[in-house]
């Protein structure tokens, strides 16, 4: 079975600084891949290169075998790659429901069809389902800007799944979320993975979260891949211990 | 959310004032009080106010006091049209102003439809050539003034080539478009054709261009303060050729602002408080007394406009709006008959004027009238 | 060639006017992200207030100048900051920019109705006369403007870099949150920049008005050109105002000379667009961080 | 132009309901305005007509700025392009007004797309500066190309259109025509902002990066926001020309673009009815203040300034806040 995402020899330099220095890996269908590493190891830059937010200096990104390097974020998303951001990124002036409909609408029909078609682009049902799934039912018509941080985080994740993506990249989903919410979030992600067979890549700082969620983990340090393996293997890897304790 | 509509209706009703009973002679002055034309408009307004005060002090028109109401055009056609429309809804006896040709063009059809005389201060040639019988000027049009200048350049200055400096608004462009064919007719070469912006910060580049054109004379057609600043810049750049202009180059304001640089400037003056006519000089004194500065030609126009209404109304012996325009058309108003007209004036059928004008020169910071040019059709 | 030099020098002289007016733009932008559409009126008004004070009080010029200038700094330095900027700054750049447009109308109309619709001479403390620069005539007034613009920018650079107060101000401009943590009285620093802005406007007004005359409508042109100059030079650098001002002056002068007098305004604007598309932070500006 | 962050507890998003209220207000407003001029005189009628025309231009800018978050200082220039296109086509070439109206919209739509391109590179105030330059360049063209535009002397005697043989030359007839056209254009915009496009525009305003990551083609929507907003400017111009029956470059200058921006913000940017309120403030209020004589512009500007200081979100923002406070049963308080 071919991998969903293939990253080959990706480089990204800012001036003289090499933030990502030759990273290659692939993501298999249905797995939850974790990418960890100390601050400034190039995790976010790697993400942004894969997602077309930044132009890689060198290297290729393939989705289902198709070269998608340098594709614009919106085009990539419509091919089924979805993401969340490290900092909160919901649309504060739109309601929870509208946020979700927006997350799905560009995957439906044509531009003109969206102008003359239904107001909700036929996504009300799907949005309600997501709202239920992420337990935001009582807030469906509230402005997203008025939600608590944890609730916004859930909404953020829900938006990423709205269009039934092939692959979801989550950038520090656990950051700033309290423990109860964290449990909720992990449980929801697992459920989606199990029910829909969705494939994830998670960047995370929170080791416990990654280790308990992911089936495979990649460790980055100074723009390079340091280790790769199951959570248990990685935890036991001396180079990883060195990198983490050394910092 | 219905409130805006209700507010709108209320405001609009507030705009629609009831017509006043005719115990006054109500003149509405639609004039540039803000925007690019504000200086000219303010002069015209003050002139009209002074005229109303003078007339009322002597018992009004046919025993009724004159009331002049001023509405700002913002030097914008849309707003001008609103103001004129309002004047007509308010049963104005006559409309005075505006000055700029855009606002005039936007409003003259309205007064024509309502058959109300509109006495404007514009000098551009166009609007009296459209067969509108209700439009009247208060000054010579550029198409009347420019031949005189071309003749002056040819016969008196004996210039073979001229640099033309003009301000790029309707006034300046109109003057420029009117003088170029006259220069050609007179066999004078145009050595440089230089547009300037109203409110331009600095005239050094223009002065250098004029200097390099090396023409025999320079024709300057700018508004008053720009005229003054151009003269100063030209002096600074060492431009030594004679500066020839029209009313706006030789006015008292220009002389005040330009100081030494104005000396030696010559040209044609339509209306001036320094003209050798007692009426104009007396007006100039009283205007300065009242407003603290010297009136420019627009102040004189405002004063005349009100007196044109007075003369015609007394002539027809009734407050008849349509009759006012009919009486003015083709009339000749003499100072002997109506001192407030300040200078004998003949009104042509199309609203243009014919009257004496002057050739003047600035000597030692004073405008000196050299020659009185007769009417075209005495 | 001599002709070209003459246009160049004339452009530099005019550019100094724009530069002097543009400094204040960059200053208030840096500390409070305020785009002041009334900046031109800020330069117009002090001269008018001085003349008005002389007229109303019947006072000698020095007293009128003192009264007019103090009144201006009080109202348009302090008052502007406290009454207009403070309540609006939290709501983003746009509403405040719009408010300054309304303010510019009030200033313009106020000067017209309160003083005069006519241009007035404004006395100069620089002797009249011209100096020859590379064969071109430059008035002493223009020369003084260039010198003062240079001095003002030098002084500001020294103040910001070399004094304790100035460094506090700079810290405030760069990151108010951190500055506040460091115990810098941020509010007072921002206020200080507005007072400096008003004082600079006074200097510009006093120097420019003898040339440009005191007239209510003068702010329109000066404001537009100062604005263009500030953007071209770099909105977030005080020295950008100088570079931008001189460049725009020269470009304007050369455009009038060699392109078209009717389209001379177009040339600085095309330059402006080119700069924004190629180097948005301006010639001398720092790159502004973009949040993702 | 970040949206005000309200850290308060979750509050109901009453926007959607308000927008449907907006439809009701539009229908009602059109009905009132159809009959309003009765007994108002030609002046009152003309001012109302002018208000409607300006409202259309402000509506367009409100779409570009208020909904899609793209600052434009060129709306008056687009109005000018529309007005001149219509005037030239109808007076010089004898083109039917309706065709000229459509062509004006098409022209400004296309030029709007072109002006949108810089928006793909630079944002916020830098974008504003580019549009400022564009606005002035258009004005220079209108003034200088006398062979085409009449230059500073403008174009006079612009004919008013008819309607299936009905003459609309009279003030009241043309006013009613304007009410109908404005109503249709407002309705179209109402539909647009409720459609998925409207949602995408708002997403573009609030967070373009996030929007792109959700598949929103930010490039296409940015260009469309400019194009549609500009086309409304063009439509307004195509109506302005026959309303005033004369045009010259002055109403399409940079200061007028700024003034239109003022109307958007003062009326409430991002609200469907905001443009009507904004244009009411910008067009009708100064007329109404004329009783104050020479001080009327100072009073007008002071009112706008005070309004903005009290409520930077404009009148609609104030109304929404008051409405919400009322519904929660407590008096409308100050700023949040």
Q: Tell me whether A145 touches chain D (CB under 8 Å).
A: yes
Domains of chain B (ranges; CATH) run: 17-140+279-347 (3.40.50.2300), 142-269+357-373 (3.40.50.2300)
User: CA separation (Å) from B151 to B144, B158, B174, B186, B242?
Assistant: 12, 9, 18, 7, 15
DSSP string, C135-201: TEEEEHHHHHHHHHHHHHHHHHHHHHHHSHHHHHHHHHHH-HHHHHHTT--HHHHHHHHHHHHHHHH
Q: What pLDDT sits at residue B18?
A: 45
Q: What pLDDT sits at residue D51?
A: 97
Q: Which domain holds residue D86?
A: 15-253
CB-based contacts of A66, cutoff 8 Å, min separation 6:
A79
Residue contact D301–C220, C-beta within 8 A: no
- Alpha carbons within 13 angstroms on the beta-carbon side of residue C228 total 30
Closest CA in chain B for residue C119 = B225
Position B22 confidence tier, pLDDT thresholds 50, 70, 90 = low
User: What distance in Å separates residue C281's CA from the closest CA in chain D?
Assistant: 9
Mean local confidence (pLDDT), D284-301: 92
pLDDT in tens, B101-158: 999 999 999 999 999 999 999 998 888 988 999 999 999 999 999 999 999 999 999 9
pLDDT in tens, B28-42: 999 999 988 999 999
Regarding chains C and D, contact by 3 or more CB pairs under 8 A is answered as yes
Lowest mean pLDDT among A76-85, B81-90, C115-124, D120-129: D120-129
Mean local confidence (pLDDT), A24-39: 90
Mean local confidence (pLDDT), B72-90: 94
Position B11 confidence tier, pLDDT thresholds 50, 70, 90 = low
> Tokens 């509010």 identify what position?
C187
Residue contact C113–D298, C-beta within 8 A: yes
Residue B5 has pLDDT above 70, yes or no: no
Which segments of D122-216 does DSSP mark as H helices, in order? 124-144, 146-149, 171-194, 196-206, 208-213
Residue D2 has pLDDT above 50, yes or no: no
Residues of D in contact with B126 (CB under 8 A): 153
Q: Give φ, ψ of D211 to 5 degrees.
A: -60, -45
Q: What pLDDT sits at residue C26?
A: 87
Residue contact D218–A90, C-beta within 8 A: no
Detail the DSSP E strand segments found in B16-170: 25-31, 66-72, 94-96, 118-119, 135-136, 161-167
Residue contact B293–C252, C-beta within 8 A: no
pLDDT > 90 fraction of chain A, expressed in percent and rounded:
41
Nearest CB to B102 within list D28, D240, D250:
D250
Q: How many CB atoms lie within 10 A of CB B184?
A: 12
Every domain of chain C and the residues it spans: 2-218
Lowest mean pLDDT among A17-21, C112-116, C283-287: C283-287
Q: What pLDDT sits at residue D336?
A: 35
Residues of C in contact with A53 (CB under 8 A): 292
pLDDT > 70 fraction of chain C, expressed in percent and rounded:
98
Q: Which of A23, A47, A49 is nearest to A168 (CA)?
A: A47
Residue contact A146–D199, C-beta within 8 A: no
More confident residue, C26 or A244: C26
User: What distance in Å separates residue D298's CA from the closest CA in chain C?
Assistant: 5
Residue D275 inside a domain? The answer is: no
Q: Tell me whether B105 touches chain D (CB under 8 Å).
A: yes
Q: Tell me whether A53 touches chain C (CB under 8 Å).
A: yes
pLDDT in tens, D159-171: 999 998 888 999 9
Assigned token pair, D124: 């916020």
Residue D111 inside a domain? The answer is: yes
Residue contact A121–D194, C-beta within 8 A: no
Q: What pLDDT sits at residue D1?
A: 36
Q: Tell me whether A86 touches chain C (CB under 8 Å).
A: no
Q: How long is chain D? A: 336
pLDDT in tens, B286-341: 999 999 999 999 999 999 999 999 999 999 999 999 999 999 999 999 999 999 99
Regarding chains A and B, contact by 3 or more CB pairs under 8 A is answered as no
Strand-pair partners of A61: A7
Task: State the Cα–Cα distance between residues D20 and D24, nearest whole angstrom.
Answer: 7
Q: Which domain holds residue A126?
A: 5-246
User: What distance in Å separates residue D175's CA from the closest CA in chain B?
Assistant: 13
D308, D311, D336, best to mutate vs chain C, most C CBs in 10 Å: D308
pLDDT in tens, B223-242: 998 999 999 999 988 999 99
Q: Environment class of residue D167 by beta-carbon count within 10 Å: exposed (0-12), middle (13-18) or buried (19+)?
A: exposed
Residue D24 inside a domain? The answer is: yes
Q: What pLDDT sits at residue D293?
A: 86
D126, D259, D263, D286, best to mutate vs chain C, most C CBs in 10 Å: D126
Q: How many CB atoms lie within 10 A of CB A71?
A: 18
Contact between C142 and C16 under an 8 Å Cβ cutoff? The reply is yes
Nearest CB to D287 within list B9, B15, B124:
B15
Task: State the Cα–Cα distance between residues A240 and A142, nearest whole angstrom.
Answer: 44
Closest CA in chain C for residue B45 = C117
Q: Alpha-carbon dihedral of residues A227, A229, A230, A234, nearest 10 degrees?
A: -20
Contact between D153 and B174 under an 8 Å Cβ cutoff? The reply is yes
pLDDT in tens, A16-31: 888 899 999 999 998 9
Contact between B37 and B98 under an 8 Å Cβ cutoff? The reply is yes
* Chain C residues near any Cβ of chain D (below 8 Å): 35, 37, 83-84, 87-88, 90-96, 98-99, 101-103, 105-106, 109-110, 113, 220, 224, 231, 235, 262-263, 265-266, 269-270, 272-273, 276-277, 280, 292
D265, D306, D317, best to mutate vs chain C, most C CBs in 10 Å: D265
What number is the ipTM of this complex?
A: 0.93
Residue D149 inside a domain? The answer is: yes
Task: State the Cα–Cα distance between residues C116 and B33, nearest whole angstrom.
Answer: 12
Closest CA in chain C for residue A48 = C292
pLDDT in tens, C206-239: 999 999 999 999 999 999 999 999 999 988 788 8
Task: Report the range out of A41-55, A157-171, D85-99 with the highest average pLDDT.
Answer: D85-99
Query: Chains with 3 or more CB pairs closer than 8 angstroms to D?
Result: A, B, C
Mean local confidence (pLDDT), B63-75: 94
Residue D20 has pLDDT above 80, yes or no: no
DSSP string, A132-167: HHTT-GGGTTBBGGGS-HHHHHHHHHHHHHTT--SE
Residue D3 has pLDDT above 50, yes or no: no
Between B and D, how many residue pairs show a Cβ–Cβ distance under 8 A?
A: 146
Nearest CB to B85 within list D32, D36, D42:
D42
Q: What is the residue-averaged pLDDT of chain A?
A: 88
pLDDT > 90 fraction of chain C, expressed in percent and rounded:
52
Closest CA in chain D for residue C117 = D294
Mean local confidence (pLDDT), A173-182: 81
Lowest mean pLDDT among B236-250, C126-140, D255-269: C126-140
What's the DSSP call for residue D12?
Answer: B
Residues of A in contact with C292 (CB under 8 A): 48, 53, 85
Residues of C in contact with B298 (CB under 8 A): none
Residue D10 has pLDDT above 50, yes or no: no
Residue D186 inside a domain? The answer is: yes
Domains contained in chain D, number: 1
Q: What is the residue-averaged pLDDT of chain C?
A: 89
Which segments of chain C does DSSP mark as H helices, in order? 2-32, 39-57, 61-72, 86-88, 93-114, 140-162, 164-174, 176-181, 186-212, 218-233, 238-254, 266-278
pLDDT in tens, C252-279: 999 999 999 999 999 999 999 999 998 8
Nearest CB to A93 within list D206, D212, D214:
D206
Residues of C in contact with B33 (CB under 8 A): 117
Whichever domain contains A11, its CATH number is 3.40.50.300
Q: What pLDDT sits at residue A241?
A: 80
Handedness of CA B168, D147, D76, B122 (dihedral sign): positive
Task: Report the range out of C97-111, C118-132, D159-173 with the highest average pLDDT.
Answer: C97-111
Residue D259 has pLDDT above 80, yes or no: yes
User: CA separation (Å) from D218 to A50, A227, C267, D191, D197?
Assistant: 19, 38, 32, 20, 11
Residue contact B39–C252, C-beta within 8 A: no
Residue D84 inside a domain? The answer is: yes
Position A187 confidence tier, pLDDT thresholds 50, 70, 90 = confident
Q: What is the residue-averaged pLDDT of chain B?
A: 91
Q: Tell me whether B18 touches chain D (CB under 8 Å).
A: no
Q: Tell me whether D38 touches chain A (CB under 8 Å).
A: no
pLDDT in tens, B333-370: 999 999 999 999 999 999 999 999 999 999 999 999 99
User: What distance in Å separates residue C292's CA from the closest CA in chain A?
Assistant: 9
User: What distance in Å separates residue B220's CA from the closest CA in chain C?
Assistant: 15
């Amino acid at each position: 079975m071919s991998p969903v995402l293939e990253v080959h020899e990706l480089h990204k330099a800012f001036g003289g600084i090499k933030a990502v220095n030759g990273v290659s890996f692939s993501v298999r269908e249905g797995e939850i891949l974790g990418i960890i590493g100390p601050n400034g190891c190039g995790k976010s830059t790697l993400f942004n290169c894969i997602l077309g937010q930044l132009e890689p200096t060198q290297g290729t990104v393939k989705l289902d075998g198709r070269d998608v390097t340098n594709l614009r974020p919106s085009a990539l998303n419509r091919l089924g790659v979805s993401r969340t951001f490290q900092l909160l990124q919901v649309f504060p002036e739109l309601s929870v429901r509208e946020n979700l409909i927006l997350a799905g609408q560009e995957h439906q029909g044509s531009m003109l069809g969206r102008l003359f078609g239904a107001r909700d682009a036929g996504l009300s049902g799907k949005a309600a389902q997501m709202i239920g799934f992420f337990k935001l039912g009582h807030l469906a018509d509230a402005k997203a800007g008025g939600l608590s941080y944890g609730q916004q985080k859930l909404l953020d994740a829900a938006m990423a799944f709205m269009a039934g993506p092939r692959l979801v990249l989550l950038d520090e989903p656990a950051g700033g979320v309290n423990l109860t919410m964290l449990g909720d979030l992990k449980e929801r992600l697992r459920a989606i993975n199990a029910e829909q067979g969705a494939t994830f890549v998670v960047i995370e700082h929170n080791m416990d979260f990654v280790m308990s969620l992911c089936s495979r983990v990649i460790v980055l340090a100074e723009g390079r891949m340091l280790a790769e393996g199951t959570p248990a293997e990685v935890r036991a890897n001396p180079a990883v211990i060195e990198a983490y304790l050394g910092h | 959310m219905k409130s805006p509509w209700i507010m709108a209706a209320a405001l609009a009703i507030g705009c629609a004032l009831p017509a006043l009973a005719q115990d006054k002679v109500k003149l509405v002055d639609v004039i540039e009080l803000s925007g690019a034309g504000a200086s000219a408009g303010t002069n015209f307004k003050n002139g009209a106010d002074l005229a109303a005060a003078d007339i009322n002090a002597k018992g009004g028109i046919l025993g009724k006091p004159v009331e002049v109401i001023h509405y700002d055009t913002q030097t914008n056609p849309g707003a001008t049209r609103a103001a004129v429309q309002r004047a007509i809804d308010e049963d104005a006896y006559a409309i005075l102003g505006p000055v700029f040709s855009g606002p005039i063009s936007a409003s003259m059809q309205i007064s024509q439809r309502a058959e109300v005389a509109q006495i404007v201060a514009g000098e551009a040639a166009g609007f009296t050539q459209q067969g509108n019988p209700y439009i009247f000027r208060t000054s010579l049009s550029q198409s009347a003034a420019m031949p005189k200048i071309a003749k002056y350049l040819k016969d008196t200055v004996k210039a073979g080539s001229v640099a033309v400096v003009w301000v790029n608004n309707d006034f300046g462009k109109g003057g420029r478009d009117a003088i170029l064919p006259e220069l050609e007719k007179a066999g004078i070469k145009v050595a440089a054709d230089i547009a300037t912006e109203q409110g331009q910060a600095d005239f050094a580049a223009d002065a250098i261009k004029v200097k390099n054109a090396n023409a025999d004379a320079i024709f300057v057609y700018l508004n008053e303060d720009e005229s003054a600043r151009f003269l100063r810049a030209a002096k600074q750049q060492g431009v030594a050729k004679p500066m020839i202009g029209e009313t706006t180059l030789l006015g008292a304001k220009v002389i005040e602002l330009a100081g030494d640089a104005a000396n030696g400037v010559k040209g044609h003056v339509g209306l001036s408080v320094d003209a050798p006519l007692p009426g104009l000089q007396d007006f100039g004194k009283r205007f300065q007394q009242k407003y603290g500065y010297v009136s420019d030609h627009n102040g004189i126009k405002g004063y005349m406009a009100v007196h044109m209404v007075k003369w015609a109304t007394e002539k027809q012996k009734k407050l008849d709006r349509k009759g006012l325009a009919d009486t003015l058309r083709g009339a000749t108003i003499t100072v002997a008959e109506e001192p407030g007209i300040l200078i004998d004036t003949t009104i042509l059928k199309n609203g243009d004027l014919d009257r004496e004008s002057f050739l003047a020169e600035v000597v030692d910071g004073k405008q000196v009238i050299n020659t009185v040019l007769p009417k075209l059709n005495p | 060639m001599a002709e070209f030099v003459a246009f160049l020098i004339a452009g530099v002289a005019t550019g100094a006017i724009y530069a002097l007016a543009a400094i204040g733009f960059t200053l208030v932008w840096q500390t409070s992200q305020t785009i002041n559409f009334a900046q031109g009126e800020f330069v117009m008004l002090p001269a008018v207030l001085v003349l008005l004070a002389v007229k109303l009080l019947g006072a000698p010029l020095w007293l009128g100048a003192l009264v007019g200038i103090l009144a201006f700094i009080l109202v348009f330095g302090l008052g502007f900051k406290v009454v207009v900027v403070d309540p609006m700054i939290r709501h983003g750049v746009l509403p405040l920019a719009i408010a300054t447009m309304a303010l510019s109308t009030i200033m313009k109309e106020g000067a017209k109705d309160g003083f005069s619709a006519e241009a007035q001479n404004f006395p100069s403390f620089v002797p009249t006369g011209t100096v020859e620069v590379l064969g071109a005539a430059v008035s002493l007034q223009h020369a003084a403007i260039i010198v003062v613009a240079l001095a003002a920018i030098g002084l500001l650079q020294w103040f910001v870099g070399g004094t304790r107060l100035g460094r506090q101000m700079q810290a405030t401009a760069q990151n108010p949150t951190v500055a506040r943590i460091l115990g810098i009285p941020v509010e007072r620093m921002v206020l200080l920049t507005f007072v400096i802005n008003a004082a600079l406007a006074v200097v510009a007004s006093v120097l420019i008005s003898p040339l440009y005359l005191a007239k209510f409508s003068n702010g329109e042109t000066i404001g537009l050109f100062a604005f263009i100059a500030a953007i071209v030079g770099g909105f977030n650098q005080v020295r950008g105002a100088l570079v931008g001002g001189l460049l725009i002056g020269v470009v304007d002068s050369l455009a009038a000379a060699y392109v078209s007098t009717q389209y001379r305004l177009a040339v600085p604007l095309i330059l402006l667009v080119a700069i924004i598309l190629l180097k948005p932070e301006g010639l001398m500006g720092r790159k502004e961080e973009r949040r993702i | 132009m970040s949206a005000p962050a309200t850290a308060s507890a979750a509050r109901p998003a009453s926007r959607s309901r308000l927008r449907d209220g907006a439809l009701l207000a539009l229908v009602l407003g059109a009905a009132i305005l159809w009959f309003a001029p009765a007994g108002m005189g030609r002046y009152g009628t003309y001012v109302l007509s002018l208000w409607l025309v300006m409202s259309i231009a402000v509506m367009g800018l409100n779409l570009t700025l208020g909904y899609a978050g793209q600052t434009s200082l060129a709306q008056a220039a687009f109005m000018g392009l529309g007005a001149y296109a219509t005037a030239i086509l109808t007076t010089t070439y004898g083109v039917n007004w309706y065709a000229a109206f459509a062509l004006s919209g098409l022209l400004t739509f296309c030029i709007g797309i072109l002006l949108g391109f810089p928006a793909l590179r630079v944002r916020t105030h830098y974008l504003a500066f580019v549009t400022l330059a564009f606005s002035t360049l258009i004005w220079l063209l209108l003034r200088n190309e006398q062979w085409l535009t009449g230059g500073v002397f403008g174009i006079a005697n612009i004919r008013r259109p008819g309607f299936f043989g009905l003459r609309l030359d009279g003030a009241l007839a043309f006013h009613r025509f304007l009410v109908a056209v404005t109503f249709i254009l407002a309705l179209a915009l109402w539909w647009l902002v409720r459609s998925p496009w409207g949602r995408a525009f708002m997403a573009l305003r609030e967070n373009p990066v996030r929007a792109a990551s959700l598949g929103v083609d930010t490039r296409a929507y940015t260009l469309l926001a400019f194009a549609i907003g500009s086309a409304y400017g063009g439509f307004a111009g195509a109506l302005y020309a026959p309303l005033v029956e004369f045009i010259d470059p002055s109403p399409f200058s940079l200061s007028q673009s700024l003034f239109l921006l003022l109307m958007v913000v003062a009326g409430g940017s991002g609200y469907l009815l905001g443009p009507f309120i904004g244009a009411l403030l910008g067009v009708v209020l100064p007329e109404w203040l004329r009783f104050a004589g020479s001080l009327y512009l100072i009073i007008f500007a002071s009112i706008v300034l005070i309004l903005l200081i009290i409520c930077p979100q404009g009148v609609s923002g104030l109304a929404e806040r008051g409405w919400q406070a009322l519904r929660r049963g407590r008096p409308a308080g100050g700023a949040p």
